[in-house]
Structure 1
Amino acid sequence: MPNPILPLWEYIPDGEPRVFGDRVYLYGSHDRVGCDAFCDFRLKVWYADINDLNDFKCSGVSFSTKDKADRPSDTKEWTQAELFAPDVIENDGKYYLYAYIVGSKGCVGVAEKPEGPFRLLSRYKYNEKDAGDDGIFNDAGVLVDDDGRVYIYYGFTESNFGEINPANMYEIIDGSYMRPIIDDTDNAPEEQRFFEASSPRKINGRYYMIYSPRRGSRLAYAISDSPRGPFEYKGYIVDNGVDYPGGNNHGSVACINGQWYVFYHRMTNNTIMSRRACVEPIEILADGTISPVEMTSLGFEKALDPYKPTPAEIACVLIGECFITELDIFTRPIVNIKKGSVIGYKYFDFGDDFSSKEYTLALKTRGQGCYSRVDVIIDDYESGEVIGSVNVGLGDGVYKGKVKAITGRHAVFFKVTHETEGWTAPYFDSKSLFELLDFTFMK
């Protein structure tokens, strides 16, 4: 499954990946398409067999704060606000959901199975002096340590810490509160300063905190020898704003069949909402550091097949005001494509074919009443080789052009310009030229 890794009509941001048994589970918020607010009043759980990561399934609604036909509210006695950024951990054979609810004191749910459904166990119990962030436990991440102790990390612009009583899993132990775990003061550079999205992990005896820094398009991480810190900033793992319409990022890491991955989200629909789940493989080095990775179109795929139709919406490079949008559950073009727009995909494997001299590239488009040209560039959109071009006409259709035959693994970029000259050209410089639906290479 390429990025995004879930069905293209599903919006699951703030992903917390957890491996339980022979499945990987993705817990996250649930965005609503066409909505001007973050998140939904319900949570869903997606999961896949660790041996078949290209087949994620949905177990349905796992927790809800509003009555729906298929699921009554789990919190009807005290709140009907939106659910943000859940985490789920296992302890003593049960699965505990920690959910932030907007404007409400957070809650803990419990289930017999990792996919839920979760039933309300309790709201957090604590003394006021043992709860930062006004006691709402924003974006809580939970760690069950090897000795059975349970720690919770949370906060919006505050990096807070507490210890949970493992006997009930919702009571904050008196005197355990600490702040900051990650520097959240103006003394820290913006790329390091804690903002939100706490996600703790213990890896090879070290404690990691994955979080969103003040520079919000990145997932940063810090390391400590103790669950209480201090955590030392080490760098960032992925930045969803590199050559792409950026926004907040929230996610974490998981080891699946011996390979580490970072789960994160990207924005669509020209908003900072409508966020979709993505994944990239990462490497944790011997010293514990994580090398930054680029965003790709691959997801769990090793490479894209250029000879099969590629949906436009798996682009990982969007430059020049173009964006992916949902017209309906079947149609997600790249729109607002203007002069100078760049649309990129990483990576295709063109295989070995040393006899062909050229291929045909076919673009399926929706017309905008303009003539334009799409240059096809490999490897780097600024310095890579231009292997051909396609002329796009006024209306809807499939437009074809000849491109140089290539072999091996390459990123592919489309750089767009219009074919208008003279005194009318400035008008077309800022006009939407066409919309891209999908494309394919043909030998």
Structure 2
Amino acid sequence: MYCFTHKKLILLSVSLFAAVAGAAQGKKQPISQPLVSHIYTADPSAHVFNGRIYIYPSHDIESGIKQDDNGSHFDMKDYHILSMDSPTGKVTDHGVALDIKNISWAGRQLWAPDAAYKNGTYYLYFPVKDKQDIFRIGVATSKKPEGPFKAESKPIDGSFSIDPCVFKDTDGSYYMYYGGIWGGQLQRWASGSYDANAKLRTANEEALLPKVAKMSNNMLSFAEAPKDVKLVDENGKTFLEGNNDKRFFEAAWVHNYNGKYYFSYSTGDTHFICYGIGDSPYGPFTYKGVVLKPVEGWTNHHSIVEFKGKWYLFYHDVQLSGQTHLRNIKVAELKYNPDGTIVTVDAYK
């Protein structure tokens, strides 16, 4: 677990200085402050286990790798799991839960994870490039929500790309949603098999769709071949790549509200978190609008969770560092309109 250190004091001082400087320049101020500042964190997958909020984020580090469109500078090496007894409570860092050196098949880049619980076991799902530099999705297990986790000896058969989200339906079934274009390599699987030279879709082509697969009973494999997640407009038509303020880019998340399924995601290069609503975990999901407006930094990645009758949006920006690859996680209350649509969140005021 984490104790207060000189490093944390430095990061807090940087944050306070930036806030004061921003206010002096008339810059918009954030509605929420970073949940932790002793390490850089991103892509927060939040869950409630045993009456406590557990957050499974990426752990950003400075690796010295030059920035590129494939995200090579996001060179994460391990995961730290965080927990809190309420959205405004003290945050505990439980230390390293899984290190890339303990994943036998991994090559590099531990990206955004997620977690699930079933029958006394906690499952940590993670994307990492294998030794051929292809993103696969692995799984590790623990008897405690904070870990440490032990990785399986190989990735999930049939898995690829990034950003796993594992959703538990009301009937006890579990589904994994995943995928991400550009650095997430989803475009390289468009033909059904991996093609390192595959191109991105052009503006007038149908946008690439995220994937979904029902999980097997042991939570270690897919029970079926992955399917496309249909994300459609009000006329039931899928988006073109040119509709990049609405089409899927990465960061899938699914939650259930009042009997409906909400599929939310990042639009990537236009920096929105958008969402659609459907009647089945498989979709189709009809686009309804924006969950979160663009944040400071290039990426946008979130999770949505209910806690004691209220809903919360976990997200990240770059308030502490001002650098794209060194992010910090935050939380804000999420509200719904009477018709079930989400009240759009602006992370700044």
Normalised by the length of structure 1, the TM-score is: 0.58
Among 120, 133, 146, the alignment partner of 2:151 is 120
How much has 1:90 moved relative to structure 2?
A: 1.0
**Separation in structure 1 between the aligned mates of residue 270 and residue 142 of structure 2, nearest angstrom:** 33
- What is the DSSP-based 3-state SS (H/G/I as helix, E as strand, rest coil) of the residue aligned with 1:15? strand
Q: Assess, with a 3 A threshold, how the Cα gap between structure 1 residues 287 and 59 changes in structure 2: closer, same or farther.
A: same
**Separation in structure 1 between the aligned mates of residue 75 and residue 55 of structure 2, nearest angstrom:** 16
- What is the DSSP-based 3-state SS (H/G/I as helix, E as strand, rest coil) of the residue aligned with 1:13? strand
The answer for the alignment partner of 1:170 in structure 2 is 220
Per-residue Cα deviation, 1:97-132 (whole angstroms, up to 9, x for no partner): 110003342211111111111111353444xxxx4x
Q: Mean Cα displacement is larger for which, 178-187 or 245-254?
A: 178-187
Per-residue Cα deviation, 1:380-430 (whole angstroms, up to 9, x for no partner): xxxxxxxxxxxxxxxxxxxxxxxxxxxxxxxxxxxxxxxxxxxxxxxxxxx
Among 272, 275, 298, the alignment partner of 2:324 is 272
Q: More strand per residue: 1 or 2?
A: 1
The answer for the alignment partner of 1:140 in structure 2 is 164
Normalised by the length of structure 2, the TM-score is: 0.73
**Separation in structure 1 between the aligned mates of residue 105 and residue 263 of structure 2, nearest angstrom:** 32
Among 207, 221, 224, the alignment partner of 2:275 is 221
Q: More helix per residue: 1 or 2?
A: 2
1:288 aligns with 2:340: yes
1:99 aligns with 2:134: no
The answer for the alignment partner of 1:110 in structure 2 is 141
Q: Assess, with a 3 A threshold, how the Cα gap between structure 1 residues 122 and 288 changes in structure 2: closer, same or farther.
A: farther
- What is the DSSP-based 3-state SS (H/G/I as helix, E as strand, rest coil) of the residue aligned with 2:61? coil
Per-residue Cα deviation, 1:307-341 (whole angstroms, up to 9, x for no partner): xxxxxxxxxxxxxxxxxxxxxxxxxxxxxxxxxxx
**Separation in structure 2 between the aligned mates of residue 247 and residue 233 of structure 1, nearest angstrom:** 23
Per-residue Cα deviation, 1:16-64 (whole angstroms, up to 9, x for no partner): 11111221011110101474411411000010113x7330010010111
Query: Which residue identity does 1:64 align to in structure 2?
Result: D
Query: Which residue identity does 1:84 align to in structure 2?
Result: W
- What is the DSSP-based 3-state SS (H/G/I as helix, E as strand, rest coil) of the residue aligned with 2:111? strand
- What is the DSSP-based 3-state SS (H/G/I as helix, E as strand, rest coil) of the residue aligned with 1:113? coil
1:55 aligns with 2:90: yes
> Does structure 1 conserve the Cα–Cα contact (< 8 Å) formed by 2:121 and 2:144?
yes
Query: Which residue identity does 1:121 align to in structure 2?
Result: E
Aligned 1:34-113 pairs, distance under 5 A: 35-36=64-65, 37-50=73-86, 53-66=88-101, 73=102, 75=103, 77-102=104-129, 103-113=134-144
**Separation in structure 2 between the aligned mates of residue 211 and residue 294 of structure 1, nearest angstrom:** 16
> Does structure 2 conserve the Cα–Cα contact (< 8 Å) formed by 1:124 and 1:172?
no
How much has 1:278 moved relative to structure 2?
A: 1.2
Q: Mean Cα displacement is larger for which, 250-259 or 184-193?
A: 184-193
> Does structure 1 conserve the Cα–Cα contact (< 8 Å) formed by 2:135 and 2:161?
no
1:22 aligns with 2:51: yes
**Separation in structure 1 between the aligned mates of residue 151 and residue 226 of structure 2, nearest angstrom:** 24
> Does structure 2 conserve the Cα–Cα contact (< 8 Å) formed by 1:106 and 1:123?
no
The answer for the alignment partner of 1:230 in structure 2 is 284
**Separation in structure 2 between the aligned mates of residue 86 and residue 216 of structure 1, nearest angstrom:** 23
Q: Which one has a bigger Cα radius of gyration?
A: 1
How much has 1:182 moved relative to structure 2?
A: 2.6
Question: Which has the bigger relative contact order, CA under 8 A and spacing at least 6?
Answer: 2
Residue identity (%): 31
The answer for the alignment partner of 2:196 in structure 1 is none
Per-residue Cα deviation, 1:230-267 (whole angstroms, up to 9, x for no partner): 011111111234xxx44110011111222211111102
Among 150, 158, 182, the alignment partner of 2:174 is 150
**Separation in structure 1 between the aligned mates of residue 248 and residue 282 of structure 2, nearest angstrom:** 16
The answer for the alignment partner of 2:201 in structure 1 is none
Q: Assess, with a 3 A threshold, how the Cα gap between structure 1 residues 146 and 219 changes in structure 2: closer, same or farther.
A: same
- What is the DSSP-based 3-state SS (H/G/I as helix, E as strand, rest coil) of the residue aligned with 2:38? coil
Among 1, 4, 7, the alignment partner of 2:36 is 7
The answer for the alignment partner of 2:197 in structure 1 is none
> Does structure 2 conserve the Cα–Cα contact (< 8 Å) formed by 1:161 and 1:181?
no
Query: Which residue identity does 2:110 align to in structure 1?
Result: L
- What is the DSSP-based 3-state SS (H/G/I as helix, E as strand, rest coil) of the residue aligned with 2:283? coil
- What is the DSSP-based 3-state SS (H/G/I as helix, E as strand, rest coil) of the residue aligned with 2:59? coil
**Matched residue count:** 276
5+ unaligned residues in a row in structure 2: which ranges?
Answer: 1-11, 13-30, 66-72, 182-208, 233-237
> Does structure 1 conserve the Cα–Cα contact (< 8 Å) formed by 2:63 and 2:75?
no
